[in-house]
Amino acid sequence: MTDRLETASSRRLACSRCGTEFACTLDGECWCMEETARLPTPREGEDCLCRECLRKAAAATRHGAAG
């Protein structure tokens, strides 16, 4: 389960894959919106991914590998 510390404007998450903590803003300006990768995420049982895991998952998808 993802560890979350939430506030009115942002939340702290732990990446579902590696456990790295990062911030997610709830106002639609999250860093992930800057990424070119658009994955069908989260996978079942997952929440958001950190930037590095998102990029790795996108690369694996492009190469036909499982994340």
Q: What is the pLDDT of residue 63?
A: 77
Euclidean distance between CA atoms 17 and 47, whole angstroms:
9
Mean pLDDT of the 28-57 span = 78
pLDDT band at 52 (very low <50, low <70, confident <90, very high): very high
Q: What is the pLDDT of residue 7?
A: 46
What separation in angstroms does the CA of 65 have from each of 4, 17, 33? 29, 16, 23
What separation in angstroms does the CA of 50 have from each of 20, 37, 63, 65? 7, 13, 20, 19
Euclidean distance between CA atoms 24 and 50, whole angstroms:
10
pLDDT digits (tens, 9 = 90+) for 10-24: 788 899 899 999 888
For the chain, the maximum distance between any two Cα atoms, rounded to a whole number of angstroms, is 38
Average pLDDT, the chain: 76
